[in-house]
Amino acid sequence: MTDESGCTQTNKVSPSGKIAKNTFLLWGRMLILTVINLFSLRILLKALGDDDYGLYNAVAGVVTLFSSVTTVLSISTQRFYSYESGKGNYSKLNEIFSKSLNLNALLSLLIVLLLETAGLWYVGTLMEIPDGRMEAVQWTYQFAVISLVFMLLQIPFMAAVLAHEDMGIYTVITTVECLLKLAVIYLIGTSGIDGMIFYGAGLLVVVLLTFLSYVFVAVRRYPECHYHVQKSRSLYRELLTFSGWTFYGSVAGVALIQGNTLLLNRFFKPFINAAFAVAVQINNAFTQLCGSVVLAIRPAMIRSYAANDYDGLAFLFSFCNKILFFIVSLIGIPLIIEMPTVMYVWLEDVVPEKILFARLMIVYVMVMAMHNPITTIMQASGNIKKYHLLADTIILMCIPLSYLLFMFGMPAYFILVTMTAVSLIAHVVRMFCLKRQFDSFSLYDYLVKFLLPFILYATVSFAVSFLFHRMVGNMMLRFVSVLASSVLTLSLPIWGIGLSVEEKAYVKSFFHKRKE
* Residue-wise pLDDT tens digits, 400-422: 898 898 888 888 888 899 999 99
* Residue-wise pLDDT tens digits, 37-62: 777 877 888 888 877 887 887 777 77
Distance, CA of 497 to CA of 509 (rounded, Å): 19
CB atoms within 10 A of CB 447: 12
Cα 351 to Cα 99, 159, 262, 356, distances in angstroms:
50, 41, 21, 9
Give the pLDDT band (50/70/90) at residue 232.
low
Q: Cα angle at 35 between 29 and 39, to 5 degrees?
A: 145
Q: Comparing C-alpha atoms, which of 28, 26, 7 is closest to residue 506?
A: 7
pLDDT on residue 69: 67
Work out the burial of residue 118: count CB atoms within 10 Å of its CB; fewer than 13 is exposed, 13-18 middle, 19 or more buried: exposed
Asked if pLDDT for residue 174 goes beyond 80, the answer is: yes
Q: Write down the pTM of the prediction.
A: 0.70
* Residue-wise pLDDT tens digits, 69-102: 676 677 777 777 777 766 666 667 777 788 778 8
Asked if pLDDT for residue 149 goes beyond 80, the answer is: yes
* Residue-wise pLDDT tens digits, 352-400: 888 888 899 999 988 888 888 898 888 787 777 888 888 888 988 888 8
Asked if pLDDT for residue 187 goes beyond 70, the answer is: yes
Q: Is 309 helix (H, G, I), strand (E, B) or coil?
A: coil
* Residue-wise pLDDT tens digits, 441-454: 888 888 888 889 99
Q: Cα angle at 446 between 461 and 483, to 5 degrees?
A: 15
DSSP string, 177-238: HHHHHHHHHHHGGGS-S-HHHHHHHHHHHHHHHHHHHHHHHHHHH-TT-S-------HHHHH
The number of C-alpha atoms within 13 Å of 237 and in the hemisphere containing its C-beta is 3
DSSP string, 75-90: HHHHHHHHHHHHHT-G
Asked if pLDDT for residue 479 goes beyond 90, the answer is: no
DSSP string, 383-396: --HHHHHHHHHHHH
DSSP string, 117-182: IIIHHHHHHTS---TT-HHHHHHHHHHHHHHHHHHHHTHHHHHHHHHTT-HHHHHHHHHHHHHHHH
Query: Where are the alpha helices (H) located in 307-338, listed in sequence order?
Result: 310-337
Asked if pLDDT for residue 18 goes beyond 70, the answer is: no
Query: Average model confidence (pLDDT) for the chain?
Result: 80
Give the pLDDT band (50/70/90) at residue 231.
low
* Residue pair 423/363 in contact by the 8 Å Cβ criterion: no
Asked if pLDDT for residue 491 goes beyond 90, the answer is: no
Which residues are CB-neighbours of 511 under 8 A, at least 6 positions away? none
Mean pLDDT of 459-480: 87
pLDDT on residue 363: 92
Residue 272 has phi, psi (to 5 degrees) of -70, -40
Length of the chain: 516
> How many whole angstroms from its chain centre is CA 5?
34
Asked if pLDDT for residue 234 goes beyond 70, the answer is: no
pLDDT on residue 10: 37
Distance, CA of 506 to CA of 516 (rounded, Å): 16
Give the pLDDT band (50/70/90) at residue 215.
very high
Residue type, 100: S
> How many whole angstroms from its chain centre is CA 326?
17
pLDDT on residue 21: 67
Asked if pLDDT for residue 180 goes beyond 90, the answer is: yes
Work out the burial of residue 436: count CB atoms within 10 Å of its CB; fewer than 13 is exposed, 13-18 middle, 19 or more buried: exposed
